Amino acid sequence: MEINIRYFGQFREFTGKREETLEVKQGITVEEMREYVRGIYPKIAAKEEVLVAVNGNFGPLDQVIEASDEVAFFPPVSGG
Amino acid sequence: MIKIQREDIDIEGILESVKSPASGGVVTFLGTVRDNAKGRSVAKMSIEVYEAMAVTQLEAIRSEALEKFGVHEAAVIHRYGDLEVGDNIVFIAVAAGHREEAFKACKYVIDELKQRVPIWKKETTPEGEFWVEGEKHE
């Protein structure tokens, strides 16, 4: 299935993309998705902390991602 | 009131909007662009936001603050885009019956914002541009 991924902050620069569509297996979890993206982008893989949000929420790592979900990757936040 | 905006913050307007006859005080926090970071001088700052998620997270933090501390009203306004030294970044205003819960709630909102609201700052310095490192999570 196809999943739409958005990148923010430094990860947008690491990937050179604001978003992309990735082909992944059905039933992929947040943790598996994170490993998959780390495998594509060495600079993301090198970061100690990689945050993943699904539909605007920080879910559990074993959460299953659906094709209609919006998945976002970004480094620790630094607002305020 | 929760707002993510490019333009400057109407501080007076926000203060008026959170006040009520039952409130005995308003505690505020105003975050501004500092001219230094980690020994480097900072000339400019650029702020990026994942807007839909930031609004959702800020709404949740606001509700938590109202419930946890029993305060009457809380407003959070955060800016994005290109800012200069001294510019306003974030404004938080909390109205409550008494000062103690208002101070606690205001601190809670800024502390949680720094942990979980998807906003990132990039500083322009004489040595180049640097993304501000967010705090690590558990």
- CATH number, domain of A56, equals 3.10.20.30
Q: Give residue A59's pLDDT band: very low, low, confident or very high (50, 70, 90).
A: confident
pLDDT 10s per residue in chain B (138 long)? Answer: 999 999 999 999 999 999 999 999 999 999 999 999 988 999 999 999 999 999 999 999 999 999 999 999 999 999 999 999 999 999 999 999 999 999 999 999 999 999 999 999 999 999 999 999 887 765
Question: CB–CB of A77 and B133 under 8 A?
Answer: no
Interface residues of chain B, partner chain A, Cβ below 8 Å: 31, 47-50, 52-54, 56-57, 78, 89-90, 110, 113-121, 131-137
Q: What one-letter code names the amino acid at B23?
A: S
Strands B73-79 and B88-96: antiparallel
For chain A, what is the domain count? 1
Query: Inter-chain contact B31–A51, Cβ cutoff 8 Å?
Result: no
What ipTM was reported for this prediction? 0.93
pTM for the model: 0.94
Q: Do A78 and B115 lie within an 8 Å CB cutoff?
A: no
Can you tell me the distance from the alpha carbon of B58 to that of B115, in angstroms, rounded to the nearest whole number?
11
- Residue span of the structural domain in which A41 resides: 2-74
Model confidence over B57-77: pLDDT tens digits? 999 999 999 999 999 999 999
Within-domain flag for A36: yes
Residues of B in contact with A6 (CB under 8 A): 50
Q: Is A79 inside any structural domain?
A: no
Crossing angle of the two packed helices B51-69 and B99-116, in degrees rounded to 10: 150
HEC letters along chain B: CEEEECCCCCHHHHHHHHCCCCCCEEEEEEEECCCEECCEECCEEEEEECHHHHHHHHHHHHHHHHHHHCCCEEEEEEECEEEECCCEEEEEEEEECCHHHHHHHHHHHHHHHHHHCCEEEEEEECCEEEECCCCCCC
Query: Is residue A78 less than 8 Å (CB to CB) from chain B?
Result: yes
- Residue B136's pLDDT is what? 73
- How many domains are there within chain B? 1
Contact B121/A78, CB-based, under 8 Å? yes
CATH number of the domain enclosing B82: 3.90.1170.40
With 0-12 / 13-18 / 19 or more C-beta atoms within 10 angstroms meaning exposed / middle / buried, residue B78 is buried
Q: Write out the residue range of the structural domain in which residue B51 sits.
A: 2-131
CB B105 within 8 A of CB B65: yes
